[in-house]
């Protein structure tokens, strides 16, 4: 990746802090962004090369030593960079001109006691192209600078407890750039409306770092019911979450500085008082308000989580009740069908029994009638026989 490094900015001592260095950097940046170049420079340069090869006397004509910026096409670069011994004034100067830190040496210089710092300003951040095989080998533009900047800040936060624990708190805040308010009086309890679009941690994620017992201790301190020594072990955890942008609480500049000094650099309150030049009572009052903000933030997450769980349970109960009612209606319909089918079976069976009974009764009646007919015939035959015998007897007697 091609780049330009600014080594020194020379300025007369009597003209320092008058904006000349800032203006020089601004013009340099505009030049490499191509804002000075003449649109027709390529054509003009080709024509001038052909025309200026020889003069009227046939001698070679040399190019001028200096040219106007609009006549010189700038080379393509990805960023402007600089390196210097870290001090508060120097860092603020480069930061004001759009440069961001990407490296800070852990060991300080043995002579000056300063840490070497590298800062860069992207010129063409979105012009790196890579081939993405998943999208038919199309060219995809990516931003390269932001991941490096985020990684530097993440490592810097962790290293503040080690080699960087003696750095000035204000300088560290300038490097980390937390979102702070300008006043502590701005809605101390619920001033997180500007973070509504940020994604909060949920209850389970918070409990990985702060248990319910830890939260109880924080809550007691926020009510002035215990000493800060009972919650001092939780401040590094809160500081890491806050500066790594895992939790979003609006703090004032001094509150963010106290959180950084105590939580990340492990400084005591006496050292912080000296750096900010305020009274210890004021510092402890701000510290208490800061803890109260984090307590309210975590409490709001717990409340939202409970409300969400209750809403889910209510929806589940409604679904279960609805399913039960549907199942109940289906059961009733099934029971009605079964009862109807069983009733039809019983009626049909009763009909068959009655039919069989009637058929058997008819058969019995037919048999009885047949027997009676046989008996009548026998009786009639006997009577006829008796009559014949009587007739024969009379005829014999005659």
| Dist CA 68 CA 74 (whole Å) | 12
Please report the pLDDT score of residue 369 as a whole number: 84
**How far is it, in rounded angstroms, from Cα 88 to Cα 353?**
111
Residue 172 CB burial class (10 angstroms; 0-12, 13-18, ≥19): buried
Closest CA to 95 of 36, 149, 168, 14: 149
Q: Tokens 């300063």, residue?
A: 114
Burial (CB < 10 A; 0-12, 13-18, 19+), residue 266, is middle
> What phi and psi, each to the nearest 5 degrees, are found at residue 240?
-60, -40
Whether 84 contacts 6, CB under 8 Å: no
CA distances for 336 relative to 331, 332, 347, 350, 385, angstroms: 8, 6, 16, 20, 72
Look up the pTM and report it. Answer: 0.70
Cα–Cα distance list, 221 to 81, 87, 108, 283 (Å): 46, 37, 38, 15
> Residue 212, SS3?
helix
CB count within 10 Å of CB 228 equals: 14
pLDDT at 187: 47
CA dist 103 → 106, 182, 284, 329 (Å): 9, 29, 34, 71
> Which pLDDT score, from 0 to 100, does residue 53 have?
54
Closest to 233 (Cα-Cα) out of 254, 205, 213: 213
What pairing do the DSSP bridges indicate for beta strands 116-122 and 100-104?
antiparallel
Residues in the chain: 398
Would you state the pLDDT for residue 322? 78
Q: Which residues contact 55 (CB under 8 A, 6 or more apart)?
A: 61
Q: pLDDT tens digits, the chain, 398 residues: what are they?
A: 788 999 989 888 888 889 999 999 999 998 888 887 765 545 555 545 554 555 555 556 677 778 887 888 888 888 999 999 999 999 999 999 999 999 999 999 888 889 999 999 998 766 555 444 443 434 445 578 888 999 999 999 999 999 899 999 999 999 999 998 875 444 444 444 555 556 778 888 899 999 999 999 999 999 999 999 999 999 999 999 999 999 999 999 999 999 999 999 999 999 999 999 999 999 999 999 999 999 999 999 988 888 888 888 888 888 887 777 777 777 777 888 888 888 888 888 888 888 888 888 888 888 888 888 888 888 888 877 777 777 776 776 66
DSSP state of 54: B
Q: What sections of the chain are H helices per DSSP?
A: 20-32, 41-51, 88-96, 145-159, 169-176, 203-206, 212-222, 235-243, 253-259, 269-276, 280-397
What residue segments make up the domains of the chain, in order of their start? Answer: 1-51+67-123, 167-325
Q: What pLDDT, on a 0 to 100 scale, did the predictor assign at position 282?
A: 93
| Crossing angle of helices 280-397 and 269-276, rounded to 10° | 120
What count of other Cβ atoms lies within 10 Å of the Cβ of residue 143? 11
| Six-digit token string for 3 | 């780049």
Residues in contact with 74: Cβ distance below 8 Å, sequence separation at least 6, in sequence order:
31, 32, 34, 36, 37
Q: Any residues with CB less than 8 A from the CB of 215 and at least 6 apart, and which? A: 295, 298
Q: What gap in Å lies between CA 56 and CA 91, rounded to an integer?
A: 56
Q: Residue 64 CB: number of other CB atoms within 10 A?
A: 8
Class of domain 1-51+67-123: alpha beta
């Amino acid at each position: 990746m091609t780049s330009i490094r600014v080594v020194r900015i020379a300025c007369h001592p009597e003209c320092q802090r008058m904006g000349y260095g800032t203006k020089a950097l601004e013009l340099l940046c505009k030049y490499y962004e191509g804002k000075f170049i003449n649109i027709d420079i390529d054509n003009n340069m080709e024509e001038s090369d052909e025309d200026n090869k020889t003069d009227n006397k046939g001698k070679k004509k040399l190019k001028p030593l200096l040219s106007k910026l609009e006549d010189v096409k700038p080379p393509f670069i990805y960023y402007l960079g600089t390196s210097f011994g870290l001090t508060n004034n120097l860092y603020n100067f480069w930061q004001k001109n759009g440069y961001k830190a990407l490296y800070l040496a852990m060991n300080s210089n043995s002579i000056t006691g300063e840490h070497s710092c590298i800062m860069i300003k992207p010129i063409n951040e979105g012009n790196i192209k890579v081939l993405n095989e998943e999208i038919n080998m199309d060219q995809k533009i990516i931003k390269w600078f932001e991941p490096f900047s985020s990684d530097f800040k993440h490592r810097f936060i962790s290293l503040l407890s080690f080699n960087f624990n003696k750095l000035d708190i204000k300088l560290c805040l300038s490097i980390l750039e937390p979102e702070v308010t300008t006043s502590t009086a701005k809605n101390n309890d619920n001033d997180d409306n500007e973070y509504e679009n940020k994604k909060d941690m949920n209850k389970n994620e918070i409990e990985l770092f702060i248990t319910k017992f830890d939260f109880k201790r924080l809550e007691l301190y926020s009510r002035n019911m215990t000493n800060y020594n009972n919650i001092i072990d939780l401040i590094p955890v809160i500081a890491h979450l806050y500066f790594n942008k895992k939790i979003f609480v609006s703090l004032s500049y001094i509150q963010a500085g106290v959180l950084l000094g105590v939580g990340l650099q492990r400084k005591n309150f006496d050292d912080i008082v000296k750096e900010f030049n305020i009274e210890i009572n004021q510092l402890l009052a701000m510290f208490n308000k800061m803890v109260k903000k984090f307590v309210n933030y975590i409490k709001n997450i717990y409340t939202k989580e409970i409300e969400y769980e209750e809403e889910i349970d209510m929806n589940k109960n409604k679904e279960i009740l609805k399913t039960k009612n549907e199942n109940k209606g289906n059961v009733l319909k099934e029971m009605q069908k079964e009862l109807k089918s069983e009733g039809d079976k019983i009626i049909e069976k009763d009909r068959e029994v009655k039919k069989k009974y009637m058929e058997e009764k008819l058969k019995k009646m037919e048999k009885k009638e047949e027997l009676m007919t046989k008996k009548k015939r026998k009786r009639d035959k006997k009577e006829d026989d008796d009559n014949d015998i009587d007739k024969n007897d009379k005829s014999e007697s005659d």
